[in-house]
């Protein structure tokens, strides 16, 4: 015990705490608007999203022993427990982003209640969209043996479920909670979809690891992506003070019935025309018309003459 006390005394905690306070309060203050604010809880949101998933797909994410006699009760009970928790997280997110004083907390609580109520009313629509995504996954993957397998085993489906929930919250004004929800999916699946992205029905991400879909991306119906696809920005506009301009359309528009294969990188506010196929590992920064097939050309080499330099080898590739 004396040895532990001696080691504790050598830490010089008073000075460390004082210096951390100076960093936190003065030199390196990172608080939103410089104030201590109550933040949404990532841990609480994880439980909330799991509850919402259980309400959307009770026998897959809820309880295995459900039947026709008790399934509606389970859904109602789950929502009755989950929605008040969501409302509190929405309130905390609104409070964090608010520039008003504490006297306005009541109006923020009322706004959180309205957002949560509107979100709850959208759950049947969200499930309808997820049904189309599930069908697209089953029809688009020959390895899929059932829709249950997709719900239980496919990270792409998990990411899309979380995205549909987060997107609805984002549209209703709960942007921080939506962003946290998307990041929970990113952490568990390796798929990063910004909740503000606009994605149509029958959306399927096969395998999925490393997929990135940026904030202002627009995706039509019946689009299929494979792993490591990036729908990103090519460049960023800077304001007069050197800070990047927020919210500008800077990500691709992907029209209906497009397939984008593994490793493709598509950058900038360009349009991928309807029914196009973008091959694996393609780097694309310009629009392509409907029905395009953009592929990496195969290396053209002779059996007797081989390129002698790196520049010659690179010259034999085209997109």
Tell me the domain boundaries of the chain: 35-191, 210-319
Burial of 89 (0-12, 13-18, 19+ CB in 10 A): buried
What is the rounded CA–CA span in Å between residue 232 and residue 217? 8
| 8 Å CB contact between 73 and 52 | no
The pLDDT of residue 9: 59
Annotation: CATH topology of 210-319: UDP N-Acetylglucosamine Acyltransferase; domain 1 (2.160.10)
What is the rounded CA–CA span in Å between residue 133 and residue 159? 11
DSSP per residue, 98-128:
--S-GGGHHHHHHHHHHHHHHHHHHHHHHHH
Q: Note the CATH architecture for domain 35-191.
A: Orthogonal Bundle (1.10)
The closest of 287, 60, 253 to 152, measured between CA atoms, is 60
Burial of 230 (0-12, 13-18, 19+ CB in 10 A): buried
**What sign has the CA pseudo-torsion 87, 89, 93, 95?**
positive
pTM above 0.75, yes or no: yes
The pLDDT of residue 3: 60
| 8 Å CB contact between 174 and 45 | no
Distance between alpha carbon 264 and the CA centroid of its chain, in Å? Answer: 18
* Phi and psi, residue 219, nearest 5°: -125, 130
Q: What is the pLDDT along the chain (319 residues), one digit of tens a residue?
A: 556 555 555 788 888 898 888 888 888 777 665 566 778 999 999 999 999 999 999 999 999 899 999 999 999 999 999 999 999 999 999 988 876 555 477 899 999 999 999 999 999 999 999 999 999 999 999 999 999 999 999 999 999 999 999 999 999 999 999 999 999 999 999 999 999 999 999 999 999 999 999 999 999 999 999 999 999 999 777 777 777 777 789 999 999 999 999 999 999 999 999 999 999 999 999 999 999 999 986 544 444 434 444 344 333 333 3
DSSP secondary-structure letter at 85?
H
The closest of 174, 46, 182 to 120, measured between CA atoms, is 174
The closest of 172, 192, 170 to 247, measured between CA atoms, is 170
Pairing outcome for strands 265-267 and 283-284: parallel
């Amino acid at each position: 015990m004396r040895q532990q006390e001696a080691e504790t005394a050598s830490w010089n905690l008073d000075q460390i705490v004082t210096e951390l306070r100076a960093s936190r309060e003065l030199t390196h203050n990172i608080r939103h608007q410089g104030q201590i604010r109550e933040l949404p809880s990532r841990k609480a949101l994880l439980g909330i999203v799991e509850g919402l998933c259980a309400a959307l797909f009770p026998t897959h994410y809820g309880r295995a022993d459900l039947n026709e006699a008790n399934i509606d009760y389970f859904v109602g009970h789950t929502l009755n427990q989950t929605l008040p928790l969501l409302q509190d997280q929405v309130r905390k997110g609104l409070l964090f982003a608010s520039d008003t004083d504490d006297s306005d907390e009541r109006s923020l609580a009322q706004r959180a209640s309205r957002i949560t109520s509107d979100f709850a009313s959208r759950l049947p629509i969200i499930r309808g969209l997820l049904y189309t995504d599930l069908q697209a996954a089953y029809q688009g993957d020959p390895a899929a043996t059932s829709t249950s397998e997709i719900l239980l085993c496919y990270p792409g489906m998990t990411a899309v479920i979380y995205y549909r929930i987060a997107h609805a919250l984002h549209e209703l004004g709960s942007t921080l909670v939506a962003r946290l929800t998307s990041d929970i999916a990113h952490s568990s699946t390796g798929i990063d979809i910004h909740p503000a992205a606009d994605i149509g029905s029958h959306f399927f991400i096969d395998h999925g690891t490393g997929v990135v879909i940026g904030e202002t991306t627009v995706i039509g119906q019946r689009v299929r992506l494979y792993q490591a696809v990036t729908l990103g920005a090519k460049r960023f506009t800077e304001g007069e003070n050197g800070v990047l301009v927020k919210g500008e359309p800077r990500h691709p528009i992907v029209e209906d019935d497009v397939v984008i294969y593994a490793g493709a990188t598509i950058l900038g506010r360009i349009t991928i025309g309807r029914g196009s196929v973008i091959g694996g590992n393609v780097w694309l920064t310009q629009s392509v018309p409907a029905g395009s097939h953009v592929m990496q050309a195969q290396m053209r080499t002779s059996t007797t003459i081989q390129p002698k330099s790196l520049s010659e080898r690179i010259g034999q590739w085209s997109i």
